[in-house]
A = this chain, B = another copy of it.
Amino acid sequence: MFDELFSAPDVVAATSEQAWVEAMLEVERALTRAGAGAGLIPDEAAEAILAACRPGLVDAADVWRAAVESATPVIPLVEALRGAVPSEHRQYVHLGATSQDIVDTAMMLVASRAVGHILADLLGCGERIEELGREHADAPQLGRTLLQPARPTTFGAVAGGWSAAVRSAHEGLRRWRPAVQLGCPVGSRVEFGAHGDAVAAQIAAQLGLEAVPAWHTDRTRVVELASALGACAGVLAKIAGDVILLSQAEIAELTFTGGGRSSAMPGKRNPARAVLVVAAAHRAPGLIATLFAAMPQELQRAAGRWQAEWPALADLLRVAGGAAHHARAMLAGLRVDAERMASRT
């Protein structure tokens, strides 16, 4: 909700309901090519399916609405795909796969694209912090602990702390690896006979994902992403919080250009971007808890906890993306008042 305000346009686009549906169609295409490569789908059938399985085949809202009946979007998606393929080839559509293969692999695609945008914004944040830090490397500044004056430090040291945290969050997120999901109905790939691992590897190669064994009910990969996103949000909220505190009128060691206005007080300038960072990041811990709580998934596929991952992860990508996007804008407009800082040490 309110992602125009709290998220980043590129991350919103990359995680939209339309983007998920397009990613599911990509997975069906990769599955078709891999099946053909393994000799399980005749070339002619594969061509017919690939011709039909194109972006725009279905309306995303329709798919999600029709998903209610069976609690999975793959049923209406595959039905639409089968309907668009000549009847003699229909048996090869979605061959061997199960709903979870399509949704989990699509979720990895969606996530890895959104993560790409977030990494770019984190990099931008880091560069701007380092620039500010270099500019005021030795500017003396009062250190404050428990919000009370402590000992002098420098703005260079403060920026160094921010920058190290951003780098560490960036590194953590960059380390995360999206992977193909291919388990077939009960996680065993038995539907592909001896070809299971080859088909999975083929799909992974086409989509730029890691080839790994089926992970239907091992959700470690999901919570690892959640944690990395949460660390980004947390690190950025710390910086935004510092900016808010240091730009209090009574301290005013930091100021910002283009500050937000008030609906009641025309002259007031609010740290609007910093507020948006804090607000976006504030929602991350609850979403992370939701994803960790979804880990204990029953037997070969969960009755509710798996499905709950989709909106929770999409929202978490959006709030982490929003924190990074607004932090970058906040830092771009940040000004250091070194004289004012010096006067307090």
Enumerate chain A interface residues (CB-CB to B < 8 A): 1-2, 4-6, 15, 17, 61, 64-65, 67-75, 78, 94, 97-99, 102, 143-154, 157, 161, 164-165, 168-169, 172, 184-188, 190-191, 213-220, 223-224, 226-227, 230-231, 233-235, 237-238, 240-242, 244-251, 258, 260-265, 268-290, 292-305, 307-308, 310-312, 314-315, 318, 326, 344
Known: A145-B301, A161-B217, A283-B290. A296 touches B269 (CB 8 A): no
Smallest Cβ-Cβ distance to A299: which chain B residue: B144
Q: Are A285 and B275 in touch, CB under 8 angstroms?
A: no
Q: Are A307 and B144 in touch, CB under 8 angstroms?
A: no
Q: How far is the CA of A279 from the CA of B298 in the complex (A)?
A: 13
A304 / chain B contacts, CB cutoff of 8 Å:
237, 240, 244, 274-279, 281-282
Smallest Cβ-Cβ distance to A102: which chain B residue: B263
Q: How far is the CA of A135 from the CA of B154 in the complex (A)?
A: 41
Q: How far is the CA of A19 from the CA of B326 in the complex (A)?
A: 25
A307 / chain B contacts, CB cutoff of 8 Å:
6, 275-276, 278-279
Q: Report which of B102, B213, B216, B305 forms a contact with A278, defined as CB distance below 8 A.
A: B305
A152 / chain B contacts, CB cutoff of 8 Å:
186
